[in-house]
Structures are given as structure tokens and as C-alpha cells.
Amino acid sequence: MSRKTSSVAVYCSLNMGTLVTGTAATYVEELWINTDKRYEIMCITQDVQNVIKQSGITDGIVLVNPMHITASCYVNDLESGLHHDIMNWLGKLAPFYGADGKSGEEYHHHQTGEDNGDAHLKRQLLGQQVTMAVKNGQLHLGTWEQIHYAEFDGMRNKRILVKVVGIIAQ
């Protein structure tokens, strides 16, 4: 862990950047999703890419945001072992207690009749949403970056908002 407290020079060339101008544009789509299980992780990279292609927007950003508060959109490895590790880890740090809860441990949220208090917390821990870059009409990703949807209260219809904001290059 670094003890440096001043800004560190990053080994970058400031001549490599790319400026693009054009017509300002936004595009939005709501994707519908319904998972087979209560807890499930799905890769949605290609779905997001399809929306970008459909939009015609060439450069900008794309916001990928679950429209429900018991799910996450996040970026990490597309690897089933890691998917298991993520769910296992979230289960330890934000446990499921069910509708009845446990003495001294239950979520107050369950007093409303819900049993998904853990889902509301897991979503915050894993990350609510991601914003990714768009370049030349494509997701601008690192080698291993994959966009995922993590469901913590599934088996029902839910929506993912995909909003593209940027330009149509001239």
C-alpha cells in the first residue's frame, strides 16, 4: 500500500487521445429480464452492445442501470467460479434472513411484509450501476471487462435501463 500522498505520474502520452465532434444525441431502451432463480448472475454485454448499435450513436457513454432496487449492474470477469464467489461473499456480508428473520438480526424492512432486505443491501455492496465508454459505435472495453446483471430477488419481470448519451459523428 502506497504511502505516497502526492499525485503520481502515470505513464501516459497525452497525444494519444481522440476528439470527436458531431450531432448531440441520446437513446434509451428498457431491457426486460426474468431470471430462473431468486439469485442469479447474467452477462449482458452483448445486449448492451445491441442497443448501442441500434442507437446509431458513435461516441459517448452508456449508462446501464437496473430499474429495480434489488439488483445490480456491474463489470467484472465472465467466469462461473467468480460468479459463485460473488454470490457467496454477498451472502456472508449481507445475509438472507427470510420473512421471519432471526432474533436480533432481522431486517426492519421486513416489517413491511417483504423478505428481501438482503437484496437491498447486496445491491449496494456489489455496485448499483455502471457507465461505460462508447467509441466508433462499440463498447470500449478492456480485455476482460464484461457487463453483468446480478439479480437478488428474481423470478419476476424486471427492467434494465440502457441510456446512450453522446454524438453521431459527422
Q: Which residues inside 13-52 make contact with a copy of itself, applying CB under 8 A?
A: 14, 16-35, 37, 39-47, 50-51
What is the per-residue DSSP string for 55-103?
A: HT--EEEEEEEESSTTEEEEEE---HHHHHHHHHHHHHHS---TTT--T
Tell me how far apart the alpha carbons of residues 122 and 67 are, in angstroms, rounded to a whole number: 15
Query: Does residue 167 interact with a copy of itself by CB under 8 A?
Result: yes
- Name the grid cell of 69: 432496487
Query: Does residue 94 interact with a copy of itself by CB under 8 A?
Result: yes
CB of 86 to a copy of itself, least distance (A): 7
Query: Does residue 138 interact with a copy of itself by CB under 8 A?
Result: no
Among 93, 99, 138, 155, indicate the residue that binds a copy of itself (CB under 8 A): 93
- Residues in contact with a copy of itself, total (CB under 8 A)? 110
Work out the number of other CB atoms within 10 angstroms of the CB of residue 134.
22
Q: Which residues ranging from 96 to 125 are in contact with a copy of itself (CB under 8 A)?
A: 107-112, 117, 120-121, 123-125
